[in-house]
Structure 1
Amino acid sequence: MQAPPDLPDELPQEALSQSGAARALRDITYGSVAGMVSKVFEHPFDLTKVRLQAQVLDPTARFNGPIDCLRQTWRKEGIRGLYRGLPAPIVGAMAENATLFLSYNELQSLIRRISGQTTDAPTTLPQIALAAAGAGGITATVLTPIELVKCKMQVQMLAASPHVAPSAVAAVAGLPLSASMPVNSSTIAKLPGPISVLMSVIREHGVRGLWLGHTGTLLREIGGGAAWFCTKEFVAGKLISYRLSKTSPGTLTKGKGREAEPLAYESAISGAFAGAAYNIALFPADTVKSALQTAQELHPNSHQARLGYLGMAKEMWSKQGIRGMYAGCGVTIARSIPSSAIIFLIYDGLKGRFG
């Protein structure tokens, strides 16, 4: 019995729709897993970066550098302190990488369609940069509220210290203001968790307040995302070409076979280079964002707590100049190299294993 005449035309469309949905689900799953694993590894270093960035506005520095920051955090707060605020970054890393890889791959497909290219046509670096920048812009919108909560939690213990006015401790802990309020273990024990911090922001500033520092996140993700994906694809392409030239002379053109896919070490190496490029690209934008998102905790009664993005950038520049804008850059690059390697190692590995 023959199928209805229109069935052959409908099946490809249905299969295409299912294929697109399956691809999107895989991107979300692979990106989430990669982000979660990498964030557990890098969180102590990210906490160090935020604390170093937050002290740029202080008259005297609490830490002499990243090693001193890690040492003091370990001595005063232990392992729990090194992972303070981790739930928000875990959620953020899953959301960030899922959104980033999904939107990046979908934008690549859109660019190819607009350019009239076939789905298996190689993507040029300018096309990669455009797709990555667009993906970064989309991701920044999802990421800003999560980063806001994370940064506020990462400086809670700094606010609950002799370096900060007692009113700052009250603001962080949600206690009544008192000029004579002592900083003690009972105050520290009352520091709020991520949900409390989130609800506090909404109560004080409305839902719109969750996007405080969005300009910095947007700049960082657009520029950094383009640098991240372009560097990864460029380095991976060079490594694959070198491997193919050694094993199969004359097959340097990018093919469809599995031999043209990156091996584990190629994903890790290219990912490591990408991690460094991401942070070098627009690090000052992230520094200003972190200071803006933590000003209310560390400087609640100063004019700095009321500054906008450009105002904060000028304030930080006047305090420490270029050195202040790159506070925490060294430790950030040091942790982003293995972290980014882990992300692409896992993402490419899952993609190669399950499609």
Structure 2
Amino acid sequence: MEAASDALPWDDPPSPAVRAAKDIAFGSIAGMVSKVFEHPFDLTKVRLQSQVLDTTARFNGPIDCLIKTWKNEGIRGLYRGLPAPIVGAMLENASLFMAYSELQNVIRRVNSQPMSHDPSLPQLALAGAGAGAITSFLLTPVELVKCKMQVQMIAPIPLSIPQPTATATLDSTPRTLPGPIAVLISVIRAEGIRGLWLGQTGTLIRECGGGAAWFTTKEFIGMRLIKQRGKELTRKDILPWESALSGACAGGVFNFSMFPADTVKSTMQTEEDLRPRGGNASKPTFFGTARALYRAQGVKGLYAGCGVTVARSIPSSAIIFLIYDGLSRRFA
């Protein structure tokens, strides 16, 4: 006769549905809070990326871009296009954390490992890459709308979507500005549903490689910090400051390593707004745009806006993991 188990009912691991719901909720909250903090810096990054192919630069660098945006557009200018990335950040982090968690479970099952087993770094990298690949398909339409809205005020000609109020542009020319829904509808009308995934290759490369780098960096540094307190401790024993520090490092590594793909993606998504070529022109491609950027300014062009992006990603990523790990501990 087998011995009775000492496990209590409430010690059982949560069901897949409950686990997924927690990942979605915690990831959404973390993404929303971090995006409010980082949006002005993201806007600066997109505007710097979008001018690489221009013969004359509008901004001399990130500080100049922030100052001119504040001077000409005020606080609303710094947060132009915020609704789309808020939604995007919630989708991104919810999808990333849920897919990352579930892919780890798939890896455990494939390797006949118990669900309590901590995967190796290569296994975590694989789960992170898979999570990023899945998330990229949700992100591209949101980032397309965001990028188009972030360059509205520097577009050389008035946009064609009417809105009830006009706003002065950086060159002091009154201009009517469309909202996110109007931008979304205009893309669908012009390009069809497929047009929403313009720049998908860049997003896929960025999120796939970035997901692997982001999660493995966080897990590696986090575990090193945890093990300094006790070899018997596991990933679940991470302290708030350890979450923040390891998350900060992960954010810097992610953005620096995958930045050229993001530059190409942003350039493709803003090309029609800033340098319209007419309806008969061929659509921009990822590798064609990458070659054009490299010919224009070399490696420097591919890293336009990288400094401000890495700088804002460090505290932003720290916030994400601090909130996610904190909620996971509180509601485990």
| TM-score between the two structures when normalised by the length of structure 1 | 0.85
In structure 1, distance between residues paired with 2:288 and 2:234: 51
Which SS does the other structure have where 1:122 is aligned?
Answer: coil
252, 266, 273: which is aligned to 1:297?
Answer: 273
Which amino acid is 2:65 matched to? C
Post-superposition CA distance 1:267-318 (Å, at most 9, x none): 0000000000101221100000000000000001379883211111111111
In structure 2, distance between residues paired with 1:82 and 1:255: 41
Which amino acid is 1:113 matched to? R
Which SS does the other structure have where 2:115 is aligned?
Answer: coil
Question: What residue is the counterpart of 1:200 in the other structure?
Answer: 186
In structure 2, distance between residues paired with 1:281 and 1:301: 31
Which amino acid is 2:18 matched to? A
The verdict on how the C-alpha distance between 1:174 and 1:309 changes in structure 2, with shifts beyond 3 A counting, is farther
In structure 2, distance between residues paired with 1:121 and 1:102: 18
67, 70, 73: which is aligned to 2:63?
Answer: 67
Which amino acid is 1:226 matched to? A
Question: What residue is the counterpart of 2:293 in the other structure?
Answer: 316
Post-superposition CA distance 1:165-195 (Å, at most 9, x none): x3xx244x459xxxxxxx76542xx210000
Post-superposition CA distance 1:87-124 (Å, at most 9, x none): 00000000000000000000000000100100111210
Which SS does the other structure have where 2:51 is aligned?
Answer: helix
Which SS does the other structure have where 1:85 is aligned?
Answer: coil
Which amino acid is 2:292 matched to? E
320, 327, 331: which is aligned to 1:350?
Answer: 327
In structure 2, distance between residues paired with 1:103 and 1:307: 31
Question: What residue is the counterpart of 1:180 in the other structure?
Answer: none
Question: What residue is the counterpart of 1:234 in the other structure?
Answer: 220
In structure 2, distance between residues paired with 1:204 and 1:76: 30
Post-superposition CA distance 1:226-259 (Å, at most 9, x none): 0000000000000001122xxxxxxx14448xxx
128, 143, 157: which is aligned to 1:147?
Answer: 143
In structure 1, distance between residues paired with 2:50 and 2:173: 23
In structure 2, distance between residues paired with 1:126 and 1:56: 36
Question: What residue is the counterpart of 2:105 in the other structure?
Answer: 109
Question: What residue is the counterpart of 1:87 in the other structure?
Answer: 83
Post-superposition CA distance 1:193-243 (Å, at most 9, x none): 000000000000000000000000000000011000000000000000112
8 Å contact from structure 2 (residues 226, 234) kept in 1: no
8 Å contact from structure 1 (residues 292, 305) kept in 2: no
- Identical columns (%): 62
Aligned residues: CA RMSD? 1.8
Structure possessing the higher radius of gyration over alpha carbons: 1
In structure 2, distance between residues paired with 1:304 and 1:152: 19
In structure 2, distance between residues paired with 1:207 and 1:117: 42
Structure with the higher fraction of residues in helix conformation: 1
1:334 matches 2:311: yes
In structure 1, distance between residues paired with 2:237 and 2:154: 46
Which amino acid is 1:319 matched to? A
In structure 2, distance between residues paired with 1:79 and 1:243: 44
233, 254, 264: which is aligned to 1:288?
Answer: 264
8 Å contact from structure 1 (residues 122, 254) kept in 2: no
In structure 1, distance between residues paired with 2:192 and 2:203: 19
The verdict on how the C-alpha distance between 1:330 and 1:195 changes in structure 2, with shifts beyond 3 A counting, is same
In structure 1, distance between residues paired with 2:133 and 2:311: 25
Question: What residue is the counterpart of 1:37 in the other structure?
Answer: 33
1:122 matches 2:122: no
In structure 2, distance between residues paired with 1:331 and 1:129: 26
Which SS does the other structure have where 1:267 is aligned?
Answer: helix
8 Å contact from structure 2 (residues 82, 146) kept in 1: yes
Question: What residue is the counterpart of 1:3 in the other structure?
Answer: none
Which SS does the other structure have where 2:15 is aligned?
Answer: helix
8 Å contact from structure 1 (residues 317, 324) kept in 2: yes
Name structure 2 gaps, 5 residues minimum.
1-8, 164-170
Name structure 1 gaps, 5 residues minimum.
1-11, 176-182, 245-251
Question: What residue is the counterpart of 2:73 in the other structure?
Answer: 77
43, 46, 53: which is aligned to 2:42?
Answer: 46
Which SS does the other structure have where 2:307 is aligned?
Answer: helix
In structure 1, distance between residues paired with 2:65 and 2:159: 24
In structure 1, distance between residues paired with 2:240 and 2:89: 22
Which amino acid is 2:267 matched to? A
Post-superposition CA distance 1:302-337 (Å, at most 9, x none): 798832111111111111110000000000000000
